[in-house]
Every structure is written in C-alpha cells, then in structure tokens.
Amino acid sequence: MVQTRTLTAKFCAEVILNDYIPKSEKDRALNECVVLKHQPHITMDDLDIAWDNYQEKNKKWIQLYIAKTLSVQEKKEILNMCYKRELTHMDKSTANLFIRDMLRNMTYLDWLKILDKPIRDFQM
C-alpha cells in the first residue's frame, strides 16, 4: 500500500507507523524512511504533526494500552519512583515486600492513574 497508493500523513502516522496497533512482522519493518521514500508528498514534519494530533486525541487510550502492557520490571521502576521517599526509610527486605505487595494488588486502572500523573507529582 505504501508503495502503490497515495496516502495521507495522518493515515501513515495513525495506522502504518503506529506501534499500538498489532502488526505482522513484515508490517513492523515499515518505518518513517520507507514512508517518506514512497510518499514524496509527505515530509517528516507532516508525520510529526499527524502523530502529535493522534496522541493528543487518543491520550487516554494510549495510556490504557501502556498500563495494560507494562512489564513487571517497568512496574517495579515506576513504583520505586513513586514511593522513593517511603522506600528510603525501609530496610531492603521490607522495601521488596512493599513493592511485591503493590505489584500483586494493583490493577491496570491503578497503573493508569499513576501514568496520568505529571512527573513532577512523583515524590523524588
């Protein structure tokens, strides 16, 4: 499609280059360079603007997707960032138990709330 049809920057950003949409191995090989090569009427700025617009309109959906797909390691890092002040007052064993209990008890909606917080709200 990228090679044979004239596409819009919006379509390319939201469908072809969007990593949040499941794709085949072959489709995952498509990147900005391929799009720009076969769609000469589109510029990198056009793709950036289209992606920014998509992200703004779909912020909650993207955050929900990320919340549902966080790895255990990513969750641990986020919890360590969010609860840094509390964890520094615990010994290593207690801190590990705290993190483990949080991991077991949190739902993807809890992760969504954390992801929705501005970074400045984390206790550093």
In this model, does residue 122 exceed pLDDT 70?
Answer: no
Asked whether residue 29 is assigned to any structural domain, the reply reads yes
pLDDT of residue 118: 65
Q: What is the mean pLDDT of the chain?
A: 87
How much is the average pLDDT of 52-76?
A: 86
Phi, then psi, of 123 in degrees rounded to 5: -80, 100
Q: Does residue 29 share a domain with residue 51?
A: yes
Domain ranges, residue 99:
63-121
3-state secondary structure of 19: coil
Number of domains in the chain: 2
> What per-residue confidence (pLDDT) applies to 63?
80
In a domain, 23, yes or no: yes
pTM of the predicted model, to two decimals? 0.54
DSSP letter, residue 117: S
The two three-digit tokens of residue 121, written as one number:
């709200």
Does 15 lie in the same domain as 38? yes
Q: Is 79 a domain residue?
A: yes
Least confident of 6-20, 37-51, 67-81, 105-119: 105-119
- Whole-number pLDDT of residue 39: 96
Same domain, 48 and 72: no
Q: Is residue 3 part of a domain?
A: no
Q: What is the pLDDT of residue 124?
A: 42
Do residues 69 and 117 share a domain? yes
91-113 tens-digit pLDDT = 999 999 999 999 999 998 898 88
Contact 67, 112 (CB under 8 A): yes
| Pair (95, 71) in one structural domain | yes
Residue 75 and residue 34 share a domain: no
Instruction: For residue 2, tell me if it sits in a domain.
Output: no
- Taking alpha carbons only, the member of 46, 112, 23, 22 closest to residue 75 is 112
Segment 36-63, tens digit of pLDDT: 999 999 999 999 999 999 888 887 778 8
